[in-house]
Amino acid sequence: MFNPSRLTLARQRRGFTKTRLAMEVDVAVRSITAYEAGMTVPKGETIQRLSKILAFPDSFFFADDIEAPNPEGVSFRSLKSMTAGKRDAALGASALAIELSSWIDKGFSLPDPNLPDLQDDEPEAAAEAVRADWGLGEKPVRNVVHLLEAHGVRVFSLAEECLEVDAFSFWRNGIPYVFLNTKKSGERSRLDAAHELGHLVLHRHDLPRSRDIEREAQRFAGAFLMPRSSVLANVSGLVTVPKLIKLKHIWNVSVTALTYRLHELNVLTDWQYRTLFKELSTRGYRKSEPDPCQRETSQVYAKVFKLLRQEGIDKRSIAKALHVTPDEINTFMFGLAFLSIEGGNQSEVVSSSAKPNLQLVPSTRG
């Protein structure tokens, strides 16, 4: 049976308005409205055109409901600067990513979520509490994505249609999800991941979005990646831009994030802070990171893909099970390659009776 909610999801996922979709499919706008309201079922040839225009298999429109996350529970940075279309595209992408996550969970035993609820803590104290709870001490975090995954967070990359969105996170059925923009520098993506961790532990209970909430998450991120005692132990003397570039590699953060943190810890005076930021702007370092680090990717999907290949299961099998295209799977996978297996069983899925237990290693360094 044709599922109207899936048409709405597909349209929003691609960033189409009803008017644009109607023009592309060559039907009246009222027809699209009727299809999505369940008042009329599109004819077979219309479904084929919808499938082609929206880049979803015909079967996608006949599968079970997919519920997109409630915008009120999603940590979008600023809805004022985000169009409704971009918001809906991001929510549509996240709904499909949740479907993929659920499929992986049926075949593999991933770590249970292990995030403390710190809604009553100040950001600095909350960052210290998470580090203590996870046994990190003052060590720099080598890979934030790996660390989050090791503690039960499901981390996905943002789809191309959603790249205007920095990053966002939410809780769904007791599972935390984080979505990261992979077009940003490695340092900025790490800060975004820590920022979203801040939302997950500080704002778990759907607090209203505000600038204060965003500042709390950003303060958490700085304190989590650059612990006070670690920074004070490594920074002394006159701070210059060349020195910042050298120091940033200790914590793999951007020069702007490090400058902000040094000012927050009173290592820099107001005048030094303004002077350094002016020089960073002049050199273009606020937009283009000097001596950038490598972008982080997922260890979960790398291990899942490896095990699936051993079972003769390729990307097309997963896409078929989820009623999407293989390219759709790619958008959430941080660009990881999933090699096709010639001669494999293309319809096979992972058996839930023998779920491999993935061993995920929290990434820190001494």
pLDDT (tens digit per residue) in 187-234: 999 999 999 999 999 998 766 667 889 999 999 999 999 999 999 999
Which residue among 65, 81, 96 closes a domain?
Answer: 65
Asked if 281 and 304 sit in the same domain, the reply is no
Which pLDDT score is estimated for 77? 75
Instruction: Provide mean pLDDT across the span 47-61.
Output: 97
Mean pLDDT computed over every residue of the chain: 89
Q: Is 349 exposed, middle or buried (0-12, 13-18, 19+ CB in 10 A)?
A: middle
pLDDT tier for residue 81 given thresholds of 50, 70 and 90 = low
Q: Nearest to residue 118, comparing CAs of 130, 108, 102?
A: 130
Averaged pLDDT for residues 346-363: 49
- In sequence order, the 6+-apart residues with CB closer than 8 A to the CB of 226 are 251, 253, 257, 258, 261
Residue 351 pLDDT grade (very low, low, confident, very high; cuts 50, 70, 90): very low
Contact between residue 101 and residue 177 where contact means Cβ atoms under 8 Å apart? yes
Give the helix/strand (H/E) hosting 249: helix 241-251
Euclidean distance between CA atoms 51 and 270, whole angstroms: 57
So what's the pLDDT on residue 158?
86
Are residues 59 and 79 both part of a single domain?
Answer: no
C-alpha closest to that of 99 among 291, 297, 332: 332
Check if the beta carbon of residue 225 is closer than 8 Å to that of residue 247.
no
Q: Which long-range contacts (CB under 8 A, 24 or more apart) does 301-306 make?
A: 301/333, 301/334, 301/336, 302/336, 303/358, 303/360, 304/104, 304/107, 304/108, 304/358, 305/336, 305/338, 305/339
The number of folded domains in the chain is 3
- Give the residue among 228, 313, 211 at the shortest CA–CA distance from 265: 228
Residue 348 has pLDDT above 50, yes or no: no
Residues of the chain with pLDDT > 70, as a percent, come to 88
Per-residue model confidence as pLDDT tens digits over 101-116? 999 999 999 999 999 9
135 plus 246 within the same structural domain? no
Burial class, 250, CB count within 10 angstroms (exposed 0-12 / middle 13-18 / buried 19+) = middle
Tokens 């075949």 belong to 107
Looking at residue 345, what is its pLDDT? 37
Rounded Cα–Cα distance for residues 210 and 79 (Å): 10
pLDDT in tens, 254-281: 999 999 999 999 999 999 999 999 999 9
362, HSE (Cβ side, Cα atoms, 13 Å): 18
Can you give the C-alpha Rg of the chain in angstroms?
Answer: 22
pLDDT at position 210: 76
Question: Are residue 89 and residue 214 in the same domain, yes or no?
Answer: yes
pLDDT tens per residue across span 234-249: 999 999 999 999 999 9
| Cα–Cα separations (whole angstroms), residue 104 to 26, 146, 147, 270, 334 | 38, 17, 19, 49, 16
- The per-residue b/e assignment along 310-332, b for 16 or more CB within 10 angstroms, e otherwise, is ebebbbbbbbbbbbbbeebbbbb
Last residue of a domain, one of 65, 95, 120: 65
Q: Say if CB 332 and CB 99 are below 8 A apart.
A: no
pLDDT value at position 149? 96
Residues 213 and 260 in one domain: no
pLDDT of residue 349: 34
What's the domain range around 257? Answer: 226-296
What element of type H or E holds 304? helix 300-310
Low-confidence winner among 8-17, 27-36, 164-173 (lowest mean pLDDT): 164-173
Domain boundary among 42, 65, 88: 65
* 64 has pLDDT over 50: yes
Residue 55: other Cβ atoms inside 10 A: 14
What is the per-residue pLDDT for 208? 64
Encode pLDDT of 119-152 as tens digits: 999 999 999 999 999 999 999 999 999 999 999 9
Closest of 144, 204, 173 to residue 334, by C-alpha: 144
Residues 161 and 89 in one domain: yes
Does residue 337 register a pLDDT over 80?
Answer: no
User: Is there a single domain that holds both residue 334 and residue 205?
Assistant: yes
- Band (pLDDT 50/70/90 cuts) for residue 356 is low
Same domain for 196 and 146, yes or no, is: yes
Are residues 209 and 237 both part of a single domain?
no
What is the predicted pLDDT for the residue at 350? 36
Q: Are residues 205 and 333 in the same domain?
A: yes
Confidence at residue 357, expressed as pLDDT on a 0 to 100 scale:
67
Percent of the chain whose predicted confidence (pLDDT) is above 90: 71
Per-residue pLDDT band for 153 (boundaries 50, 70, 90) equals very high
Top pLDDT among 275 and 343 is at: 275
Half-sphere exposure (Cβ direction) of 100: Cα atoms closer than 13 Å: 29
Residues 208 and 350 both lie in one domain: yes
Q: pLDDT tens, 84-100?
A: 888 899 999 999 999 99
Residues 35 and 126 in one domain: no
* Average pLDDT over every residue of 154-175: 86
